[in-house]
Amino acid sequence: MFDAKKICQLALAVLETEAQAILNLRDRINEGFVNACKLLLGCEGRIIVTGIGKSGHIGNKIAATLASTGSPAFFMHPGEASHGDIGVITKKDVVIALSYTGNTDEILAILPVIKLLGVPLISITGNPNSTLAKTADINLNVNIE
């Protein structure tokens, strides 16, 4: 019923695909990446990560990893942000917004407040021409080719 050889072949194929995807990001380790690192390392407040759907799950993991390694960070759901949670953001914070399309309504709805507060915004998108990418201070392009 289960063919051990086929299971191993499939697992190896998945690893090869994932390894290639990581290697394809090499050219994106650039000035934007360095500037994002500088913002995060110099953050005097908290790192607030936001996203919805799969991007939200990834964002939640990013926030948890940052917090567990000593950076004050938490995840803010963009839907809840629109209903008052955005009030936790201070001028000392940095916001990371994740949206593969860069045009997610819930994220776009909170951008004006983030910009009004003058908080640095790092976007992680798959579309460098999106509204989120163009609004952000720094966009990290994670487009899959």
Q: Give the chain as a 3 state SS string.
A: CCCHHHHHHHHHHHHHHHHHHHHCCHHHCCHHHHHHHHHHHCCCCCEEEEECCHHHHHHHHHHHHHHHCCCCEEECCHHHHCCCHHHHCCCCCEEEEEECCCCCHHHHHHHHHHHHHCCCEEEEECCCCCHHHHHCCEEEECCCC
Output the CA–CA distances (angstroms, integers) from residue 110 to 4, 101, 103, 118, in the order listed.
49, 16, 12, 13
Tens place of pLDDT per residue across the chain (145 aa): 789 999 999 999 999 999 999 999 898 999 999 999 999 999 999 999 999 999 999 999 999 999 999 999 999 999 999 898 899 999 999 999 999 999 999 999 999 999 999 999 999 999 999 999 999 999 999 998 7
Q: Where are the domains of the chain?
A: 29-141
Q: Side chain identity at 56, as an amino acid letter?
A: G
Q: Are strands 138-141 and 73-75 parallel, antiparallel or unpaired?
A: unpaired
Residue 22: other Cβ atoms inside 10 A: 8
Output the CA–CA distances (angstroms, integers) from residue 12 to 9, 16, 25, 145, in the order listed.
5, 6, 20, 21
Residue 100 corresponds to which tokens in the numbers above? Answer: 């593969």
pTM comes to: 0.92
Nearest to 114 by CA among 84, 94, 100, 129: 94
Domain 29-141 class in CATH: alpha beta
